[in-house]
Structure 1
């Protein structure tokens, strides 16, 4: 389970917890803005904000917040100073929000709406208002969620932060970055834009696909597997899979009802690792007609050039082929299926992070 699922599970059982979030950082720090951790009443945790002394101090503050009920903003200096007893010299500074969740009545509807959006693969924005409390001993927090119209579903609003006009102004200032802290007179606003989790569509269920699925799951990708051989499209081979299909053939795969409900977007990662060149070429042709954000095909450079020549006869050109990562994966000298799995997922992580692509 990820942190949202854990929060909903624990709060649904009537437990209290503290939510620790890095609001922003300057310079080098173990984790960056957006890293979060849950601290429970028994002292256990889920997630991390980087470990070490910072995390230990944040855990102490989180446990204290569960006793007092006060939220707070805490600053940590990692430049080598000893005023906080810090033994880390990363060279940066960070600020974290320490939030006790003792009475979740106001928060649960927002979290449940966020979970629904994620299950529907629907984009949404979470707005968190942070304002100093009147007695200056803590922070007042209010949250709301906004989701645009999506796939025939009406726009969604949940929670209350401020008036609509003020929210629109904050959103304009925040822009489209996934994470932004907007400072305004009287309050700061944390703006989080969420897109559907990236899905890796593995075409082929052989040994390499199995290792790619395992590593991709660890890296946080959602996994879908398609193979025209039912014995290879199995949950025994792919326990991490969220979508598993065994069509009679690879013809018109994106027309399958299950994939038609999940149109290819920039969060779609197509990995072509079937048992034969002909199937790979067929799926690549179909994929190039979609808006998939990442396309990777296993094979040698000779196979790539032969495949491109055949597709060129069907009207595809250099602009189309520039979208394809082939040979797939970062060049780390991978030989075994396990090593290939690491190299492929490393390339997908680089793509997800917006890094440079290979030629």
Structure 2
């Protein structure tokens, strides 16, 4: 059993409905900061946020990451994931460098080719389009490779011979540069092939609750196989450091009347299969909601959780900061120790 880092993952939904505790974009942002502070106080290891565009969810991540970094001292701060189809990789490197310096080197950035969005080809509105003969996924991977390259901190830009301010000698790099951030970039892989590609490039792996259906086995079995393929590719690439691997799960320990009201409806959750586009069959992992003893027994059978070193708990953020802090605390105190995660 691998000892786990345990964090939360928020999609940052907001809705003006009176049934929501998160009714505006301001609510979603400010409550995200407060939940990160609360999670750190509870002993959680990470505060991660999903990025979506054209949606009532968290969008531009770097102001939020910087604010969380300024309010916390220990907890990892990350994304799962940033859609690289929408990103200028050089401008993103500057934003990421600044946020990481504010946080004291705690940024853990998950990036990816993205998932189906609220609008058709939304990245085109941001000014991006694939090169001739390439797909939007190819474009995302190209943006990612440029991003990784500039994070190394090597000079590449020819300096002006008559600059406004004196330059250091040689080619110039982007500033601010955050030392070590290159090793804290993760790729959100939905297929086995992209997990192998991420390993070859020296990125950590984020495997979520949606994966290309490659073989028809249960989701957690397929995900575990993906992780093993990633680790083998990492070993073959000869990287000097050990990689990190995260999985995300919706896990609710039913311990009080609030939990029973929200999640105690009974019945067993199952994996679901669907299509994320016309040709890609995907499998969606089940959610877990049960009393701690039952939850411990079920989670012990999840092969992918066994393989990962980091577990991200997807939280129902519209239920408010206090309730979500309770959800995190219940897992940390009543479930994780019995499974040997802490």
TM-score by length of 1: 0.28
Q: Comparing both structures, which one devotes a greater share of its residues to strand?
A: 1
Bigger radius of gyration: 1
Q: Which has the higher contact order (CA 8 A, sep 6+)?
A: 2
Q: Comparing both structures, which one devotes a greater share of its residues to helix?
A: 2
